[in-house]
Structure 1
Amino acid sequence: MVPKVHTVVCSGNNPVHIPHEFYEQGDLIIGGIVSHIHYIFPIVSFDEHPSRVVIKNPTVIRKFYQHILALVFAVDEINQNPKILPNVTLGFHIYDSYFDSKMAYRTTLELLFKSHHFVPNYICGIQKKVVGVIGGLSSDTSSSMADVLGLYKTPQISYGSFERAINDHIKFASFYRMVSNEDLQYKGIVQLLLHFRWKWVGLITPANEAGEQFLQTIEPMFFKNGICSAFTERTEYYMQFTGNMLDMVDPSKYSSQTFMKSKANAVVIYGESTSIIWLTSVIIARNVIQLILHQSVRKEPEGKVWITTAQIDFISNVLKFIDPNIRMLQGAISITIHSKEIQDFSDFLQVVKPSGQDADGFIEDFWEQAFGCSLSNATKMAGIMGTCTGEEMLESLPAPFFEMSMTGHSYSIYNAVYAVAQALHIMCSSEATCKRIKGGDRLSSQNVEPWQLHSFLQRISFNNSAGDEITFNEHGELAAGFDITNLVTFPNNSYVRVKVGRLDPQAPPGKELTINRNGIQWHRVFTQVPPLSLCNANCLPGYEKKKKEGKKFCCYDCDPCPHGMFSNEKGLETCARCPPDQYPNEEQNQCIPKKTNVLSFGETLAIVSTFSALLFSLITVVVLGIFIKHRDTAIVKANNRSLTYILLISLLLCFLCSLVFIGMPNKATCPLRQTAFGIVFSVALSSILAKTISVVLAFMATKPGSRIRRWVGKKLAYSIVLSCSVIQVGICVFWLATSAPFPDVDMHSMSEEIILLCNEGSVLMFYGVLGYMGFLASISFTVAFLARKLPDSFNEAKFITFSMLVFCSVWFSFIPTYLSTKGKYMVAVEIFSILVSSAGLLGCIFSPKCYIIVVRPELNNREQLIWRKM
């Protein structure tokens, strides 16, 4: 329920009223509570009523005078626009909060109930209708105003308050604000630090509830994103100083200011604009003290990147002739309220003069303190500083004192005025509330109640003159983002703010920040851009970070990368593995492509293997030719020449199949390698087994009455060769049908090479082929060993025994050697085993016979055979 307001004529003794106000009559009034002036509030002695105590010596935050002018400009612009509230004149009434919660209550009530004798809830004097109030700047001021305005359901639009203390839209149902939620700032700060890889960051906050809330929110976000706070500076300063600038700070702390000593280059400053005054005042005070102590004046802290939040504007509150040290803030990166340049606003500022501004109760103090002169010859200031001409130009003031371009806070005020005007326009266009006085054109303000605007403000949506859409979200906040600006300072202590980025609340999570790092001008002392802000220097490429015990996790030692890993940039947390086809160099700071590992025909090892295979093949052909040429001799006939031919041909194929292992693996050679080798060797071993069994059976058949004689002959030998070979063929066919070998690459077995190989498909089948050959060799060796001493002049058993011994020795040593080698050397081991075992069979079995046939032909006859038997 809205409290009933009584209109009466008030009388009585009038206390000293609030001296600063700016009033312009209109049909409907837009109120404004700005934060522009600091007072020296005297100590209350209770000798007289506190309301009668004279407040003296106002200190103006000159830059904030633009906030007042922005409101005036917006109202004047609307009144001149026939498309908004035609035939209705807007007025305004502006008061100051004096940066004090108690005064914010007082001026808010004064705004609603203009009274020299302060009587809350009664309208005294000139009747007016305040339809909405713009203000305040800080959370404390806005909250104090909301306590009063909320009772009367008067719309309040803050132009600079972010904190969550007044986020409760149920408690403050009449509260709106022209800024985005502060949570977006927190995300932007973290993303900004991550973008530039600043992990060692200082924090400066005011020692109040808002500062603690900031720390409680931002520090967990830092930890989650791997950022450490190098220090946390809680500042205590009071603007109610006694006229001495040094009273703002505690002089005992000048020598121990943490931010001056820390090696953290990135420092986040949270608070109000007075935080900048505190910062610059600390520098000035330190220099003054050093001069008093006859020390050399230290320069401002260099090498800092100041990161400021949207509540902060770059202001100076010292006299114009004292160096405000704005240059120490060169390169500062600020999250600022989004703004655009408004047409004609700069022209409006250029014609602002103190003459003819009797209704403006702010301009006199502003003008005198901005230009260091007096508008009245009667004041003490006139004798000291001279008299103002009234023709001084605002554009001559440096930016820390006054800006000609519209600041973010002024832009918010401008939009807030338009939001109220647009809501009134819609209401008057759609409702019968805006009635005219009978017979006149003037609006009867009695028919417009402030609470009626809420339903229109909550769904307001329009584009301002700069093209920005103005609309509130469900929390009564402007649905807009923030600008990222870079501070560029000049030798005359002025500056410009350059937009280098944007915080967009509509962007996907984690992508809210966009920034043009090439557009940033850093502090001149930085030799590396962007500068570093780390607990210790970045680890060089080839090293990774190792946590220091007892230190924050951002402090670390640098250890070389583990074997097989690399890091190719400075400051990497951990080393990484190279892609599978690459390996780290000796310095472990880059990856090198791996070489291919394959036994190609051009390599020495392949040339030797090829030459050996061809040489042994030629020898085998020569031996086969010798046996064919002397096929009718006794020694050839005695050893079953058909089996001899089969054995020699299979040995020839064994030598030649080793060539299949050389060269690039492909779909044709991979299935052929092991299967061809296994089948051909099985035929050779089967022939040897058949020859050995034939020798044994031939001896046993010579005994009288032996039944074995019927088994002696070619059929048995052929049957043994065929049956033993068919089993190996069956194993190989099953292998090819179920899991055939195929071309493959092995990138992991060798650190610097990629092995091109034939994947066996089924290792079990591969060792099954080898195992079956070992089985045949073992039987042949056993039978030959037992028959080695049979009385026969051309008994092959002893030669077969020795050849099988060589064969088994080669292949039993093959398995461990094969498993312990990699790449082309594994292939070379198998080729070597094939050649050596085949050459062993060829040499041990056929060299004695070739010796007799070629060198001692006289022994190759039947008579010699019979003689030797006798």
Structure 2
Amino acid sequence: MLASLYLFLYLLWKSLSLLLLLLSVTCSFGTYDTCQLLKQFPLVSMQRDGDLIIGGLFEVHLITVFPELTFRAEPDQPWCYQFYLDGFKTAQAMAFTIDEINKNPNLLPNITLGYRLYDNCIKLGVALRAAMALISGTETSFSDLSCSGTPPLLAIVGDSTSTHSIAMSSVLDLFRMPMVSYFATCSCLSDKQRYPFFFRTIPSDAFQVRAMMQILKHFGWTWVGLIVSNDDYGLNAAQSFHQDISVFGGCVAFYEILPKDNDMKEIRRIINVIQTSTSRVIVVYSNEAYLLPLMDEVLRLNVTRQWIASEAWSLSPVFLTPSMLPVLRGTLGIAVRRGEIVGLQEFLLSLRPDSDPGNVMVIKFWEDMFQCRFNPVKAQTEMNGRVCSGNEDLTTSLEYSDVSELRGSYNVYKAVYALAYALHDLLHCVPGKGPFSGGSCASLHNLQPWQLLHYLHGVNFTTAYGDQVSFDENGDALAIYDIVSWTGVSGGAMKGREVGVVDESQPAGKVLRLDDEKIVWNFENNRPPHSVCSEPCPPGTRKATKKGLPVCCFDCIPCADGEISTDASECLKCPEDLWSNPQKDRCVPKEVEFLSYEDALGISLSTASLFGACACAGVLAVFAHHRQTPVVRANNSELSFLILMSLKLCFLCALLFIGQPRLWTCQLRHAVFGISFVLCVSSILVKTMVVVAVFKASRPEGQGAMKWFGAPQQRGTVLILTAFQVVICAVWLSTASPAPHKNTQSSKIVFECAVGSMAGFATLLGYIGLLAAVSFLLAFLARNLPDTFNEAKFITFSMLIFCAVWIAFIPAYVSSPGKYADAVEIFAILASSFGLLISIFAPKCYIILLHPERNTKKALMGRTPAKN
């Protein structure tokens, strides 16, 4: 379609170039003493002279008939019929506005504006003929042989359709003539590289699409169908719609183009798409001609949807009928801004053909209104039994005198005033400060249309109705639309009632003003429909797009721990010191965790630790009190006291693991733990060695064994073995000392002691394990000694418990999170300490306290008489 249009424009340009060449030849080299106009078109027009002329193109007739071409004679001119009252009223709005400007002493003083208005008959061919008439004028000849002089007009107000405006702008740009449209909305006309002289007082389709997005966003409609007409208006709107709908998270459920030829097979296919789609909202960019067959089929099948109408049909009387009420009631539409023009009604009612006999447009209107023919010579003529005198009362036509819905006329009003203000600024230019070369200004006596362009870009005024008018860098006016809702009225028909406005001149957040209570819905409970592909994800989940479907169709996936989401496409990770709440919709401060004296676990472990220390102290007191008895003195009582003291330290060192870690507690806990257990285990090891040595010394061949296990040797051995552990701790603390660490990787902030060097920690534990293993091995080998020396059995059992506890400690410690790792280590300390205390010292305390008769040397030597 566009290729055909460009071809037509190219041929037209070539024809115009040839016409201008012929005119030049006629003027310069002809035998005539005047310049002759080669062709004059019979057009419906009205005009008024003035110092400066503004042209206008309007839809006064709806149908154009082009005669058949025979190629044997000059073709007849096309003719128009079926008078269009709204188009005529729009043209009269321009005439009224110019009269109003001429009466305004503050705007263009001492300058009278004139106009030339032509009917385009809603056909591009007729519109181009009218444009040529405006450019070249209607005079048949010029006596000035140079063909120079003031241009016939400065600018054109029109055209009403995008296709006409595209074609005529390409032609008018050749003559550098501004064109201000009042109804052409195609966003393609905003391209200043292609249409530098085009302006408009109606927002472009790009703005209309943005206004449509405001409505969809307001009601939460993210899953919408799109139907457009197969022309520049529909296709360009569809392109903008696809680009903008994703901005607020919406998607196009289906996209259909209405056929040009009203193909019913294609119409039924589109209806089937509408019925099978889950979308309940359909946006339509089209005019009546394309849309009527589809709506007839919608009515026949009673397809109920929420229709969103573009400005091209949002107030179309074709659809505001009783028959369409069942399916179109509740339609929301974007409508051209309605305005009020004070005095226009009186002006319309004052139109009489006898006051201006040369006004063809008014005469045509009069003839159509009263079905008569006006004869300016006789002042009245009888036709079909009726007389048209020119004095008939126009107020009898309510439609004609109704000025309550001025939309196109209001845009014409703004367009004429925009040109007037531009001319006003142009004529008040200060020489030396003008916008042209050398700071010059335009001259009224030689004013060129292109000189108006600079001032049109600077126009900024407010109408009497309160709307601001200005043009952006693309020649587009400030976007403002009325929102209408179709509701039933008396008689069964429908009416588009204003329920809001979209005004992009307002600050963000106030662009859309909508009164929801005024809207009528064609659904149950008179409530708006619900149109989404997937329900919004609840807090704490994220969207996962379904494969092969638009982004509006998704599954909801729960966020991981530590992440939040509020209907977002991705989950957001909480900051380091925060964690997600159970609903995962906000981040909350993490709970601080460490093994405290205040919680139940800390209380239990500290109680057990203190109890163990007290038990050691009690045993130590018993042994001290009975230190002269055989049970205490046997096997070196000094080692027994040393074991009890080291076990008491083992119990007390567990308290260093409770409470918030500090640097000194982290350094002390493992050092004290390691040294205390080595002192205890090394004492047990020496005690076991003494048991074995005593047994060997009791035999003849082992008389000299005890000389190697005297008291000094025993103390030295314990000291050396313990000193080695002290060296390990010193190296560890000096190279990679344990330190407090705030672990934020989990749902809680865990205060713990980092070991610093895992090798140092492993060496410390390994050395304790080595001593315990050697002690266990020696005790196990000496377990079968005579009963007199049965302490080896108790040591074996104690070492078995000790080794089992610490072997189980390693995997339990590694797998325990947070404070439970410290709890596991404390439990291992306490369990092994209690194991040693009970296994080694419980039997001795039993004899000392409960059976003192067995605490004798004879009883220990096995010489006590057996009881009967």
Q: Give me the whole-angstrom Cα distance separating, in 1, the residues matched to 2:608 and 2:397.
A: 102
* CA distance 1:684–1:531, change in 2 (3 Å): farther
Match of residue 302 from structure 1: 304
Q: Is the Cα–Cα contact under 8 Å of residues 42 and 77 in structure 2 kept in the other structure? A: no
Match of residue 832 from structure 2: 837
Task: Point out the more displaced range, 840-849 or 636-645.
Answer: 636-645
Aligned residue type for 2:283: V
How far off is 1:94 after superposition?
A: 1.5
Match of residue 234 from structure 1: 257
Q: Deviations over 1:221-273 (max 9, x none)?
A: 667987543333323468xxxxxxxxxx55666655527534422322224xx
Match of residue 752 from structure 2: 758
Q: Is the Cα–Cα contact under 8 Å of residues 697 and 712 in structure 1 kept in the other structure? A: no
* CA distance 1:697–1:406, change in 2 (3 Å): farther
Match of residue 416 from structure 1: 415
Matches for 1:622-771 after TM superposition, within 5 Å: 622-658=618-654, 674=670, 676-692=672-688, 703-704=703-704, 708=708, 712-713=712-713, 715-717=715-717, 719-720=719-720, 722-727=722-727, 729-730=729-730, 733-734=733-734, 738-742=737-741, 744=743, 747-748=746-747, 754=748, 756=750, 758=752, 760=754, 762=756, 764=758, 766-771=761-766
Helix, strand or coil at the partner of 1:17: coil
Q: Deviations over 1:374-431 (max 9, x none)?
A: 8999667989xxx97412476898xxxx662553x54543333233223322332337
How far off is 1:804 after superposition?
A: 1.4
From 368, 391, 394, the equivalent of 1:390 is 394
Task: Point out the more displaced range, 797-806 or 777-786.
Answer: 777-786
Match of residue 22 from structure 1: 46
Q: Deviations over 1:820-856 (max 9, x none)?
A: 4446655554343222211110011112222332344
Is 1:553 equivalent to 2:550 in the alignment? yes
Is 1:84 equivalent to 2:83 in the alignment? no
Match of residue 404 from structure 2: 404
Aligned residue type for 1:330: G
* CA distance 1:201–1:568, change in 2 (3 Å): same
Match of residue 38 from structure 1: 62
From 481, 485, 491, the equivalent of 2:489 is 491
Aligned residues: 803
Helix, strand or coil at the partner of 1:130: coil
Match of residue 266 from structure 1: 281
Match of residue 453 from structure 2: 454
Matches for 1:59-74 after TM superposition, within 5 Å: 59-60=83-84, 62-65=85-88, 67-74=90-97
Structure scoring higher RCO (CA < 8 A, sep ≥ 6) equals 1
How far off is 1:818 after superposition?
A: 3.3
CA RMSD, 1 decimal: 5.3
How far off is 1:103 after superposition?
A: 0.8
Q: Give me the whole-angstrom Cα distance separating, in 2, the residues matched to 1:412 and 1:176.
A: 12
Q: Is the Cα–Cα contact under 8 Å of residues 24 and 93 in structure 1 kept in the other structure? A: yes
Match of residue 476 from structure 2: 478
Helix, strand or coil at the partner of 1:92: strand
Identity %: 29
* CA distance 1:671–1:462, change in 2 (3 Å): farther
Matches for 1:813-828 after TM superposition, within 5 Å: 813-822=808-817, 826-828=821-823
Q: Is the Cα–Cα contact under 8 Å of residues 504 and 511 in structure 2 kept in the other structure? A: yes
* CA distance 1:627–1:374, change in 2 (3 Å): farther
Q: Deviations over 1:713-742 (max 9, x none)?
A: 56415623641452364266348x744134
Task: Point out the more displaced range, 34-43 or 784-793.
Answer: 784-793
How far off is 1:77 after superposition?
A: 3.2
How far off is 1:54 after superposition?
A: 6.6
Helix, strand or coil at the partner of 1:85: coil
Q: Give me the whole-angstrom Cα distance separating, in 2, the residues matched to 1:352 and 1:497.
A: 25
Q: Give me the whole-angstrom Cα distance separating, in 2, the residues matched to 1:734 and 1:190.
A: 69
Match of residue 848 from structure 1: 843
* CA distance 1:745–1:578, change in 2 (3 Å): closer
Q: Is the Cα–Cα contact under 8 Å of residues 682 and 728 in structure 1 kept in the other structure? A: no
* CA distance 1:324–1:527, change in 2 (3 Å): closer
Aligned residue type for 1:133: I
Match of residue 811 from structure 1: 806
Q: Is the Cα–Cα contact under 8 Å of residues 635 and 849 in structure 1 kept in the other structure? A: yes
Q: Is the Cα–Cα contact under 8 Å of residues 304 and 327 in structure 2 kept in the other structure? A: no
How far off is 1:98 after superposition?
A: 1.9
Q: Is the Cα–Cα contact under 8 Å of residues 97 and 141 in structure 1 kept in the other structure? A: no
How far off is 1:624 after superposition?
A: 1.3
Q: Give me the whole-angstrom Cα distance separating, in 2, the residues matched to 1:609 and 1:70.
A: 95
Q: Is the Cα–Cα contact under 8 Å of residues 630 and 857 in structure 2 kept in the other structure? A: yes
How far off is 1:812 after superposition?
A: 0.3
Task: Point out the more displaced range, 80-89 or 631-640.
Answer: 631-640
How far off is 1:132 after superposition?
A: 1.2
Q: Give me the whole-angstrom Cα distance separating, in 1, the residues matched to 2:595 and 2:47.
A: 96
Match of residue 314 from structure 1: 315
Choose between structure 1 and 2: higher helix proportion.
2
From 770, 774, 781, the equivalent of 2:776 is 781
How far off is 1:631 after superposition?
A: 2.1
* CA distance 1:772–1:706, change in 2 (3 Å): closer
Q: Is the Cα–Cα contact under 8 Å of residues 545 and 574 in structure 1 kept in the other structure? A: yes
How far off is 1:279 after superposition?
A: 3.6
Match of residue 439 from structure 2: none
Match of residue 523 from structure 2: 525
* CA distance 1:526–1:350, change in 2 (3 Å): farther
* CA distance 1:581–1:16, change in 2 (3 Å): closer
Aligned residue type for 2:521: H
Aligned residue type for 1:316: P
Aligned residue type for 2:175: Y
Aligned residue type for 1:619: A
Q: Give me the whole-angstrom Cα distance separating, in 2, the residues matched to 1:738 and 1:340.
A: 81
5+ long unaligned stretches in structure 1: 239-248, 291-297, 434-442, 749-753
* CA distance 1:406–1:733, change in 2 (3 Å): farther
Q: Is the Cα–Cα contact under 8 Å of residues 62 and 80 in structure 2 kept in the other structure? A: no
* CA distance 1:484–1:777, change in 2 (3 Å): farther
Match of residue 143 from structure 1: 166
Q: Is the Cα–Cα contact under 8 Å of residues 793 and 868 in structure 1 kept in the other structure? A: no
* CA distance 1:857–1:37, change in 2 (3 Å): same
Matches for 1:118-129 after TM superposition, within 5 Å: 129=152
Match of residue 378 from structure 2: none
Helix, strand or coil at the partner of 2:394: coil
Q: Give me the whole-angstrom Cα distance separating, in 1, the residues matched to 2:138 and 2:278.
A: 56
Aligned residue type for 2:752: C
Aligned residue type for 1:266: V
5+ long unaligned stretches in structure 2: 1-16, 375-380, 433-441
Q: Is the Cα–Cα contact under 8 Å of residues 250 and 552 in structure 2 kept in the other structure? A: no
Helix, strand or coil at the partner of 1:391: helix
Helix, strand or coil at the partner of 2:305: coil
Alignment TM-score, normalising by the size of structure 2? 0.75
Match of residue 426 from structure 1: 425
Q: Give me the whole-angstrom Cα distance separating, in 1, the residues matched to 2:450 and 2:586.
A: 69
From 96, 102, 118, the equivalent of 1:95 is 118
Q: Deviations over 1:32-68 (max 9, x none)?
A: 11235311425526499786457353241x4445533
Q: Give me the whole-angstrom Cα distance separating, in 1, the residues matched to 2:851 and 2:259.
A: 118
Q: Deviations over 1:192-230 (max 9, x none)?
A: 656655443222222235544444554466679875433
Q: Give me the whole-angstrom Cα distance separating, in 1, the residues matched to 2:726 and 2:107.
A: 104
Q: Give me the whole-angstrom Cα distance separating, in 2, the residues matched to 1:74 and 1:698.
A: 132
Helix, strand or coil at the partner of 1:38: strand
Helix, strand or coil at the partner of 2:62: strand
Q: Is the Cα–Cα contact under 8 Å of residues 682 and 724 in structure 1 kept in the other structure? A: no
